[in-house]
Amino acid sequence: MVASHLLLTVSSAAPIFFISYHYGAEVLGQFTMVMTTIFLPSGLLGLAIGQVFYQRAAASSNDPGVVLGLWLSTLKRLALVGFPIYLIASLLSTFIYPLVLGGQWEDAGRYAQLFSVAAFFAFISTPLDRVSLVLNVSYYLPSLHTLRLLLSILTFCLALYFDMTFMGFLLVHTIQMSVVYLIDLLMGRYFLGKAKGACGVM
């Protein structure tokens, strides 16, 4: 867990340092505002739902079939809550940011419009990322965060090599983050299916 948290911290901080270095403090400020606001539903609703899932899943850890049912119902609930939130954010962010924060935040609205895709996948994936803890798959989270860091480095290299604009970099970064969150979801489903199958054989 210590290694996992260290890797997560590094992979989360790396884009901030890269943006500051390659695109400047002004772009970083706009991007940081987007990060602070667009992930707010994940921090409030998503984590609360995740805590409930983790508590119930841990209590039923000896029955992977029950945990799988909890996982599926929680995923549906997150998708039903998150999809309209981030659809509205994507459609209206270019108007909301300048309206609420002032005209100087117009770029943040454009960044949020694109980045809301990754934020949606984070909203439905992050609360469910403790499946590996429930099933005691200790190697998974460090592996996932290592993959996240390596993909981030690849994204930085592509941005430098092709001299991308910030919107180009943000598009690739959004795809990269969305892919990692989708992999996390699929692996959780895989682990649960495998554990359920093993229990069925036994």
Is the separation of the CB atoms in 110 and 95 below 8 Å?
Answer: no
Domain segments of the chain: what residues?
Answer: 2-201
Mean pLDDT estimate for the chain: 91
- Rounded to an integer, what distance in angstroms lies between the CA atom of residue 93 and that of residue 71? 31
Is the separation of the CB atoms in 131 and 71 below 8 Å?
Answer: yes
Instruction: Give Cβ neighbours of residue 3 (< 8 Å, ≥ 6 apart).
Output: 142
pLDDT in tens, 55-67: 999 999 889 999 9
pLDDT in tens, 69-122: 999 999 999 999 899 999 999 999 999 999 999 999 999 999 999 999 999 999
- Rounded to an integer, what distance in angstroms lies between the CA atom of residue 118 and that of residue 116? 5
pLDDT in tens, 121-177: 999 998 898 898 899 898 999 999 999 999 999 999 999 999 999 999 999 999 999
Question: What value does the mean pLDDT take over residues 23-33?
Answer: 95
